[in-house]
Amino acid sequence: MIIKLDKKFKKDIKRDKNSGKFNDNDFNELKLVMTNLVGDIVLDKKYLTHKLVGNWLGY
């Protein structure tokens, strides 16, 4: 399967890169996770279900 990135996603990534909040390692990690999901490879434990915190608490 091929990952097809839509225009909105590309713009979001570009904006995030320019924001300075994220570094190249963050984007490499995102790419790895997306590739693993497409390839039906089991994700590392840190990406699996976990308790939500902050504004997401209770969902």
- Phi, then psi, of 2 in degrees rounded to 5: -110, 135
Cα separation of 59 and 4, whole Å?
29
pLDDT tens profile 6-56: 999 999 999 999 999 999 999 999 999 999 999 999 998 888 888 888 998
CB burial string 15-25: b at 16+ within 10 A, e below = eeeeeeeeeee
Using a cut of 0.75, tell me whether the model's pTM lies above it.
no
1 has a pLDDT exceeding 80: no
* Extents of the domains making up the chain: 7-56
Please state, in angstroms and rounded to a whole number, the distance separating the CA atoms of residues 21 and 7: 21
Cβ-Cβ contacts under 8 Å for 32 (sequence gap 6 or more): none
pLDDT at residue number 4: 87
